[in-house]
């Protein structure tokens, strides 16, 4: 019997997502034995704000290392945690059908937030966009697993906690949400709501297994968002967002057009630049959008943005 080892973080949400990948593989290959290998990351052991310890990528590096050194055959990630570039010896081989990419609130609705409300989120992207709509809001960082974060919004410690709707859905907690934010208010993080699976570029048997569970429309939108992020030179430490949708043609076909929305902002939310581009090629349209935001929209003048990093669309798929 063939076997495949999936590297995963040890949080309840990460393990749940890895089991979704394992279940999809078992359904596609009934003779395949799938094992989840838990990897503890530096991000799991730190309580410091993400922008002080390397951004979301801190949750990814050690899991990738388990694949690179042979302890596992593939790595499962929340796609939003992945930096815009990855090690040259790894490939992003599969993306599961994407869940809701939007952000939500626990504790209070957007419309009912009182003046000077305290909002829990350590995300520069979330803080900037919320401050743009409500300059009076006050922000505090909040680390920990989903249960701890959601509880802070429910017990009144803060007016609201910002969470990913996809995470709440996968945990069966949608009823605990008090609001879901429209992308016009809060543009999602690149990859939000998507589960991505990496493996070694030269591991053809594993690539063959993973290719059977790849959801083409979700993978194409993720490629466009990651190309946008790469072009912006961004991570979670900078206020950037990207969200792509299939807008024409047969969903998932190579010919279907993509509509990609992008955002760059000043850290204080006083300046938020949003643009949209459409195209058939995920990498190209993502790179074009990044250039438009930085050059045409003036985003390169904001602190932390030096200029377009990728004008030719070379972000990894």
What order do you get walking across the sheet with 118-120 strand by strand? 138-140, 118-120, 160-164, 103-106, 179-180
Contacts of 126 (CB under 8 A, 6+ apart): 103, 162, 186
Q: What is the DSSP letter of 138?
A: E
Task: Say how far apart CA 264 and CA 246 lie, in whole Å.
Answer: 22
Residue of 45, 73, 81, 281 marked catalytic:
81
Task: Say how far apart CA 134 and CA 44 lie, in whole Å.
Answer: 32
Closest CA to 75 of 197, 160, 237: 197
The answer to whether the CB of 92 falls within 8 A of the CB of 197 is yes
Phi, psi (deg, nearest 5) at residue 20: -65, -40
Q: What is the DSSP letter of 296?
A: I
Question: Is 81 a known active-site residue?
Answer: yes
Q: Where are the alpha helices (DSSP H) in the chain?
A: 12-28, 42-45, 50-53, 61-68, 124-133, 146-154, 165-170, 204-211, 216-232, 282-291
Task: Say how far apart CA 37 and CA 18 lie, in whole Å.
Answer: 10
Strand-pairing partners, residue 32, are 2
Secondary structure (DSSP) of 223-277 = HHHHHHHHHHT--TTS-EEEEEEEEESSTTSTT-EEEEEEEEE-TTSS-EEEEEE
Phi, psi (deg, nearest 5) at residue 6: -105, 120
Residue indicated by tokens 């952000």 = 103
For the annotated catalytic residues, the residue numbers are 81
């Amino acid at each position: 019997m063939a076997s495949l080892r999936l590297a995963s973080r040890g949080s309840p949400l990460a393990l749940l997502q890895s089991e979704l990948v394992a279940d999809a593989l078992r359904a596609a290959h009934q003779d395949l034995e799938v094992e989840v290998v838990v990897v503890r990351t530096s991000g799991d052991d730190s309580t410091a704000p993400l922008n002080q310890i390397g951004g979301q990528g801190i949750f990814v590096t050690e899991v990738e290392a388990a694949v690179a050194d042979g302890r596992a055959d593939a790595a499962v990630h929340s796609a939003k945690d992945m930096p815009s570039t990855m090690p040259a010896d790894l490939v992003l081989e599969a993306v599961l059908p994407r869940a809701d990419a939007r952000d939500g609130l626990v504790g209070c609705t957007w419309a009912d937030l009182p003046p000077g409300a305290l909002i829990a989120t350590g995300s520069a992207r979330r803080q900037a966009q919320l401050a743009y709509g409500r300059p009076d809001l006050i922000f505090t960082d909040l680390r920990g697993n989903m249960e701890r974060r959601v509880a802070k919004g429910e017990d009144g410690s803060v007016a609201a906690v910002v969470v990913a709707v996809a995470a709440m859905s996968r945990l069966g907690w949608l009823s605990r949400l008090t609001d879901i934010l429209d992308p016009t208010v809060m543009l999602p993080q690149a990859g939000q709501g998507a589960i991505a699976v990496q493996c070694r570029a030269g591991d053809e048997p594993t690539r063959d297994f993973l290719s059977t569970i790849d959801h083409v429309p979700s993978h194409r939108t993720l490629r466009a968002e990651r190309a946008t992020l790469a072009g912006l030179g961004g991570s979670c430490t900078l206020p950037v967002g990207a969200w792509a949708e299939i807008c024409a043609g047969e969903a998932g076909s190579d010919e279907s057009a993509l509509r990609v929305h992008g955002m760059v902002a000043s850290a204080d939310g006083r300046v938020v630049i949003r643009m949209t581009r459409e195209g058939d090629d995920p990498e190209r349209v993502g790179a074009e959008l990044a250039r438009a935001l930085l050059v045409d929209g003036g985003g390169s003048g904001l602190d932390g943005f030096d200029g377009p990093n990728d004008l030719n669309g070379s972000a990894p798929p």
